[in-house]
Structure 1
Amino acid sequence: MTPEDQELALLGLIDRAAVRELVDRYAKVFDDRSFTALLPTLFVPDGEIRLPPGGHRGLAGMDDFHRDVMRPFGPTQHLFTNTLVDIEGDQATFQANTHVTHTVLKDDGTADDDDLFLAGGVLAGVTVRTTAGWRFQKVTLDVIWRQGDFGPPAP
Structure 2
Amino acid sequence: MSSVSATYRATDGSPVLALSLCGHPLSYPNFLSKQRQEFGPNPTAKNDMSNGVASNGLQHHSGMKSTSLTAPKSDQEKLLYMFERQKIVDLLCAYAYTLDCTMMDLKIAHDWANLFTDDCLLTYPFGTHNGKAGLADFGMAAESRFTRMLHIASNFVVEFESDTVAHARYTCFATHGSHEWDLSKHFMEAGYYYSSFRREPTADGFSTWKFSHLTLDMVWTQGESLGLNEPLNVHLTKSSIQPILTESSP
- Tell me, yes or no, whether TM beats 0.5: yes
Match of 2:219 among 144, 152, 155: 144
TM-score, normalization: structure 1?
Answer: 0.88
Cα distance in 2 between the residues matched to 1:55 and 1:111: 32
Deviation digits for residues 19-67 of structure 1, max 9, x if unmatched?
A: 1111111111220012112321x11101111111111111110000010
After TM superposition, the runs of 4+ consecutive aligned structure 1 residues lying more than 6 A away are none
Q: Is the 8 A contact 2:154 2:171 kept in 1?
A: yes
What is the identity, as a one-letter code, of the residue corresponding to 2:137?
D
Match of 2:171 among 61, 76, 97: 97
Alignment correspondent of 1:22: 91
Alignment correspondent of 1:88: 161
Cα distance in 1 between the residues matched to 2:185 and 2:97: 22
Alignment of 1:108-127 (within 5 A): 110=180, 112-127=182-197
Cα distance in 2 between the residues matched to 1:130 and 1:22: 13
Equivalenced residues, count: 147
Cα distance in 2 between the residues matched to 1:58 and 1:111: 36
Cα distance in 2 between the residues matched to 1:25 and 1:56: 20
TM-score, normalization: structure 2?
Answer: 0.56
Alignment correspondent of 2:74: 5
**Sequence identity of aligned pairs in percent?**
26
Q: CA deviation at 1:87?
A: 0.8
Q: Tell me, which stretches of 5 or more residues in structure 2 are unaligned?
A: 1-72, 103-107, 203-207, 235-250
Deviation digits for residues 89-118 of structure 1, max 9, x if unmatched?
A: 11111011111111114xxxx354232100
Q: Which has the larger radius of gyration?
A: 2
User: Larger strand proportion, structure 1 or 2?
Assistant: 1
Match of 1:129 among 199, 216, 220: 199
Alignment correspondent of 1:51: 124
User: 1:122 is paired with a residue of what secondary structure?
Assistant: strand
What is the identity, as a one-letter code, of the residue corresponding to 2:172?
T
Cα distance in 2 between the residues matched to 1:63 and 1:111: 26
- The alignment's C-alpha RMSD in Å is 1.5
- Greater shift, 58-67 or 145-154, is seen at 145-154
What is the identity, as a one-letter code, of the residue corresponding to 1:136?
F
Q: CA deviation at 1:70?
A: 0.2
Cα distance in 2 between the residues matched to 1:58 and 1:44: 7
Q: Tell me, which stretches of 5 or more residues in structure 1 are unaligned?
A: none
Cα distance in 1 between the residues matched to 2:165 and 2:111: 24
Cα distance in 2 between the residues matched to 1:55 and 1:146: 20
CA gap 1:111/1:142 in 2 versus in 1, 3 angstroms:
farther
What is the identity, as a one-letter code, of the residue corresponding to 2:111?
A
Alignment correspondent of 2:110: 36
What is the identity, as a one-letter code, of the residue corresponding to 1:61?
G
Alignment correspondent of 1:78: 151
What is the identity, as a one-letter code, of the residue corresponding to 1:82?
N
CA gap 1:115/1:140 in 2 versus in 1, 3 angstroms:
same
Q: CA deviation at 1:123?
A: 0.7
